[in-house]
Amino acid sequence: MALDRFHPLAQQELDSLRAEGKRKSFEAVVERVIQPQGQSGPRFVLRGDSAPYLRMNANSYLGLSFHPKLIEADEAAVRAYGVGPGAVRFISGSYLPHVQLEARLAAFHGRGASMIFSSAYATVLSVLSVLITPQTAVISDELNHNCIINAVRLSRPHSKAVYKHLDLDGLDTQLTAAKGAARALVVTDGIFSMRGAHAPLAEIAAICRAHDADFPEGVLLVVDDSHGVGAFGQTGRGTEEFTHTQVDVLIGTLGKAFGVNGGYVTSSHVLIDYLREKSPTYIYSNPITAGEAAAAHAALDLTDSEWGRERLTRLRSLTEQFRSGLKERGFETLDGQHPVVPLFVRDQAKLVARVADLKTRGILATGISYPVVPKGDESVRFQINADHTPADVDEVLAALGRATP
């Protein structure tokens, strides 16, 4: 059988990944969550390990997944509509909570309309595959997320180019070189998920406008701000808010700061109507459940309130405490306000050892290495959540000690 010949090849690669400390399938399974107690935030108990861990590698930036209002909204919708939609949207899988959530997302972002998908990854794949035609030139930042990279690979553009990370002169040059295409599509992360750095959207948008007349169908600016929405900006409206810029097409997620599940895109009424007719992962996949949609709606309402603004202030304070603590101890990191805080190690073996040592000290963190980041950028990615406490941050800093010369 063909599998008999495939198995040795696959096993060899798996063994190699394990030896390099890169194998992902050794997943830590959360068995129990201990709710915050005293000066400590939540702790996580893993299967086969009774020790409680401080989780510093979660995207749940606002710490909303256990909020009573989300749980109540989810439970009420499940009792009303069941645990699953039972069909794709255009057949019979659209429920009132889906429609209400889409309207709330559009209002939250100041857009004409929005639509939800099963995940942000599915959103990016669908949106880009529809907007990229054989007459479209695609230009992308080199550190864009894997979902953008794969969406471009799956498309058949007129041409595609990659500019060096945040190199705006490079973007300008690539747009000049793309003349001859009917449409240009510039795509970037809002927050670069491995570094916590943000794209300078005002400057990028200005470059797009300067070249718009060079293309008969114009220049579209598409931003995936999955790590920004809910976690960045004074009111949680992400990189757009932080840079005072509204882009053509904004993609976000419900599964990070908002604490639920699913992805979404928001833009004009016409563009969203067009995507509903054309997007394959929307047309042929079930949506998130009605319960998830109701919980996400509750998360938006909380974020867009005084409670949410206080929560974001707390998140910024904890992030600054941690970032400043790293610098004081001599570690290399990046400036910024986003709760993704990298600690650069720049060596694979040292990275594996650092992550393992943190775990022995009761801290879960993620090592990021090539090909997720360029070689030489190996780092521990820490993610601050608003349900962490100042004492939690001090605990992590103490576990790290001081940088060795």
Q: What is the pLDDT of residue 20?
A: 78
**pLDDT tens-digit map of 32-70:** 999 999 999 999 999 999 999 999 999 999 999 999 999
**pLDDT classification of 18: cutoffs 50, 70, 90:** confident
Distance CA 304, CA 301 (A): 5
Mean pLDDT of 285-290: 97
- Homologous superfamily assigned to 15-55+306-400: Aspartate Aminotransferase, domain 1 (3.90.1150.10)
Q: Which fold has domain 68-304?
A: Aspartate Aminotransferase; domain 2 (3.40.640)
Task: Match 């400590």 to its residue by tokens.
Answer: 40
Question: In the chain, pLDDT over 70 holds for what percent of residues?
Answer: 99
Q: What is the mean pLDDT of the chain?
A: 95
**pLDDT tens-digit map of 91-101:** 999 999 999 99
Task: Match 């943190």 to its residue by tokens.
Answer: 358
Intervals of CATH 3.40.640.10 along the chain: 68-304
Q: What is the pLDDT of residue 17?
A: 85
CA gyration radius for the chain?
A: 22
Q: What is the pLDDT of residue 222?
A: 98
Bridge partners (DSSP) of residue 205 are none
Give yes or no for residue 405 having a pLDDT over 90.
no
**pLDDT classification of 25: cutoffs 50, 70, 90:** low
**pLDDT tens-digit map of 373-395:** 888 999 999 999 999 999 999 99
Task: Match 């605990």 to its residue by tokens.
Answer: 395
Give yes or no for residue 333 having a pLDDT over 70.
yes
What does each C-alpha distance from 151 to 119, 126, 175, 387 come to in angstroms? 14, 8, 20, 34
Structure tokens at 389: 């406490």
Residue pair 220/186 in contact by the 8 Å Cβ criterion:
yes
Q: What is the pLDDT of residue 22?
A: 74
Residue pair 112/268 in contact by the 8 Å Cβ criterion:
yes
CB atoms inside a 10 Å sphere around CB 79: 10
Distance CA 335, CA 15 (A): 37
The whole-model pTM stands at 0.95
Closest by alpha carbon to 303, among 384, 228, 215? 228
Distance CA 171, CA 139 (A): 7
Distance CA 260, CA 387 (A): 16
Q: What is the pLDDT of residue 379?
A: 96
Intervals of CATH 3.90.1150.10 along the chain: 15-55+306-400
Residue pair 61/385 in contact by the 8 Å Cβ criterion:
yes
Q: What is the pLDDT of residue 27?
A: 82
Q: What is the pLDDT of residue 236?
A: 97
Q: What is the pLDDT of residue 1?
A: 63
**pLDDT tens-digit map of 119-174:** 999 999 999 999 999 999 999 999 999 999 999 999 999 999 999 999 999 999 99
Cβ-based burial of 76 (10 A; exposed 0-12, middle 13-18, buried ≥19) = middle
**pLDDT tens-digit map of 336-366:** 999 999 999 999 999 999 999 999 999 999 9
